Chains A and B, each alone.
Chain A
Amino acid sequence: MTFAASTLPTDEATFAQLIFGAPLLGAVLLLFFGKRLGKLSGIIGSATVGIAFVFGVLSFMDLTSIATGHGENARVLTKSWFTWIEVGDFNVHMSLVIDQLSIVMVFVITGVGFLIHVYSIGYMSSEENYGRFFAYLNLFIAAMLLLVLGDNLLVMFIGWEGVGLCSYLLIGFWFEDRANATAAKKAFVVNRIGDFSFLLGIFLLAVSAGTLTFAGINESAVSGAIGGSMATVGALLLFGGAAGKSAQIPLYVWLPDAMAGPTPVSALIHAATMVTAGVYMVARTFPLFEAASFDVLLLVAWVGGATAVITAIVAAAEYDIKKILAYSTISQLGYMFLALGVGAYSIAIFHLVTHAFFKALMFLGSGSVMHALDGETDVRRMGGLRKVMPITGWTFMMGWLAICGIVPFSGFFSKDAILAGAWADGQYVLWGLGVATAALTAFYMSRLYLRVFEGGVVMPEGTHAHDAPPTMAAALIPLGILSLAAGALNFPGGLTFEHFLEPVLGEPEVAHGLTAWLLGGAATVVAVGGIAVAWALYLRAGGLQVRDRTERMLGPAVRAARNKLYVDRTYETLILQPGRDLAVFCTEVVDRKIIDGAVNGTGKLVAGSSELLRRLQTGYVRNYAAAFLVGVVVVFSILIVRVAA
């Protein structure tokens, strides 16, 4: 596998700090003056992200204009501000890097981010804390950009924690409702478990590799400077962090609850960008994973595959429109990890990009539905909405077909490439998991789409559905087009996207020739099959009877899926309850009895003994005089005895 070595000459990245600085400036501005700026804050917030996008384009032009005289790998721009930590030979620079991988991420973040900001102008228009919302959103964009632009693990970690913070703030944006605040806390705590693992990984690599730059770490991994077991532990720790941020088994439980936040937040943070940070991180450090003596990548693939299937099952049983999309996001992230695990790094990034388009689109679409139906989220109370709100309906259809993997929508190409990568890697079981997920995905997304947008019009009573206002439509339409057309980035034959990323991520191994066609055909067949089943169950007359019959037949399985496979309950029993018991033990026994006991006991001892001793102080001079006498007699006796001796 080819790899960009750190010794290559690099050029100065002129715009890197501006990409990251624009939204940061916006965040600062809005945090301090958001209230006074009122409705202007939405425009400012969107504009800064738009400016960041423009700087991204300029950087991209810089990047492509570099003479490739040093070989293909030379296309790296760096920008170093200052030396942050300097201890002996160990240095950490506050520096940014623009290469093919980070520029792709910059485009996704600022591009999709900009559209979601514009959407939020309409979606949040009746919100009291309008300025605060955009301040957090801008801060998030800045942190996410720092995450992908950082040229070493520590700078990445700043962004990593920054996006975690913004995620917390935005999930709990309506914190007056206790449930939202709890969801935010849950997301923060679960993420913290992953972050802890990530941090340990950083420490380990700082010690074993002596550097934290991606280039340095990857180089040591390739040259064997980081030993097999060291690389194994390091890779496992980093993957632990990735699993937390990207909501993989066993740390995915926070993401469905994160839907408590405003819908644009779900679209931006919990579908398109932040949750893909783990995928990005593993792709960045893939040589380390490959150098591990234990097959960490296989573990990554299995975790991804298992997550994909399991959460797809849960998604098929959910009724809350946002929760379905949340489980779907976890499932698709599982796909990306599956791709990483079979060595198809650039395909994982490709799926990340297409997923960012179609999932952000569907979240925004669901937000538009909720906006129209006074916050209704239960799909059972919706139907035929495409007739009522055509823009939302048609664009949602783009997203639906893309995630189902129908030719020529973008999802087809990325998903097909992942499956082909798994096949080419010889992981036929994982390929099977992927196909099963594809079938389930097609089923549950069709279930969602057909229920909500097709058939007879169903709306909660008293709602006057209306289509998306202009600013929201302005985000939906471009994302719809991208969901349809983003496959063009990486058409089979051209594979522009993969070749673009090749200098950073190497060339993925995929099936060729007839196999590729057969695999693609199989994926399409299961996708169409999934859609057909959903159509038969939810749209065709008499589907309800079939549904009832199936549900009775599969009783326990359906019940398990409706209860989210009892995962939350298991965590509750195995982790939360013992934790709570320990806390109670600490307060009731350790604190109240042992610590308070020691403190109060000291006081009681003093009080008790003084109670006894003060009896000596009678107030009768005679008694004192007697005490003197006794004292004098004792002292003299001692003196006499000693003199005599």
Chain B
Amino acid sequence: MTSVSPEYFLALAGLMFTIGVVGALTRRNAIVIFMFIELMLNAVNLAFVTFSRMHGTVDGQVVVFFVLVVAAAEVVVGLAIIISIFRRRRSANVDDVNLLKW
């Protein structure tokens, strides 16, 4: 069985993570930011799985399950917040929500 070298997986994971970071920092729409965060999480998941495979252990796989669970919970809470903000302000633009400062 031919196997793809792990470097490609890691490179892909890095690329996805970078796209996620840049997207999360530059976009204004909360939903989109959310999606970029999910992208970063999955980039990390991919890296975990890759390392797990490389070292022949299941630790990484286990962590991925945790990440998925936490991400699901986070989505629930996060979307709820976004919706309630949207209800109040008719906007999902995060720059409108900047009261938490000095």
Interfacial residues, chain A to chain B (CB-CB below 8 A) = 614, 617-622, 625-626, 629
Contact = CB atoms under 8 A, between A and B. Distances in A.
A629 to B, nearest CB: 6
B94 A619 contact: no
A620 B94 contact: yes
Interface string B80-102: 00000000000000110111111
A620 B25 CA distance: 10
Contacts of B21: 629
Nearest to B95: A620
Contacts of B101: 614, 617-619
B24 interface: yes
Contact of B100 (A614, A619, A622, A629): A619
Contacts of A620: 94-95, 98
A618 B26 CA distance: 15
Contacts of A621: 94, 97
Nearest to A618: B101
Nearest to A615: B102
A391 to B, nearest CB: 89
A629 B95 contact: no
Residue of A618, A621, A626, A629 most packed against chain B (CB within 10 A): A621
Nearest to A620: B98
Given A620-B94, A620-B95, A625 B102 contact: no
Interface in B20-72: 21, 24-26
18 contacts: A614-B101, A617-B101, A618-B98, A618-B101, A619-B97, A619-B98, A619-B99, A619-B100, A619-B101, A620-B94, A620-B98, A621-B94, A621-B97, A622-B24, A622-B94, A625-B25, A626-B25, A629-B21
A389 B26 CA distance: 110
Closest 7 CB pairs of A and B: A619-B98, A619-B101, A614-B102, A617-B101, A619-B100, A617-B102, A620-B98
A63 to B, nearest CB: 88
B27 to A, nearest CB: 9
Given A619-B101, A620-B98, A622-B24, 7 more contacts: A614-B102, A618-B101, A619-B97, A619-B99, A622-B94, A625-B24, A626-B25
A629 B97 CA distance: 21
A625 B95 CA distance: 13
A428 B34 CA distance: 114
Residue of A614, A622, A625 most packed against chain B (CB within 10 A): A622
Nearest to B99: A619
Contacts of A618: 98, 101
A618 B101 CA distance: 6
A629 B95 CA distance: 19
Nearest to A622: B25
A305 B98 CA distance: 90
Contacts of B98: 618-620
Contacts of B95: 620, 622
A602 B96 CA distance: 37
A621 B85 CA distance: 15
B31 to A, nearest CB: 14
B92 to A, nearest CB: 13
